[in-house]
Amino acid sequence: MPASLKHLAVGLLAASVLTLSGCLAVAAAGGAAGGVAYVMGDLEAVVEATPQKTIKAAELAADDLKLLRIASEASDLEGKLTLRTSSDKKITVTVKKETDAASKLSIRVGIFGDEAMSRALYDKIRAHL
């Protein structure tokens, strides 16, 4: 095998190891934070509450952050809350039942996401649960 091809192979191997270890670090950090992950513009977490209780907590959190409520609905299986920021950015909070005692929560701010706003809203929701 020519030396340049060996260097290319070693470089590709090193890049893939670094990439994989980065993914593992992100996954570990998400797990360490209580199952909270920010992925492609969505903050996702599992909370120990029903969808109805989670949506109620999200409404209270929205009030704390002075967000405008546009629509809210919740059932035993799922819930959705639509909000607007003062700069008219849309926020969507969705909740789906995972077990009798836990729900999957997803927060999306705007089209591309806003991690800081998502985490602020999540922290307030957790405070009300």
pTM higher than 0.85 for the full model?
no
Residue 15, pLDDT above cutoff 90: no
- Between 40 and 7, the more confident residue is 40
What's the pLDDT tens digit per position in 92-104?
999 999 999 999 9
Fold held by 35-128: TATA-Binding Protein (3.30.310)
What is the chain's mean pLDDT, rounded?
A: 83
What's the pLDDT tens digit per position in 45-91?
999 999 999 999 999 999 999 999 999 999 999 999 999 999 999 99
Q: Is the dihedral of CA 50, 55, 60, 64 positive or negative?
A: positive
Strands 37-39 and 103-109: unpaired
Give the Cα separation of 103 and 30 in Å (integer).
Answer: 17
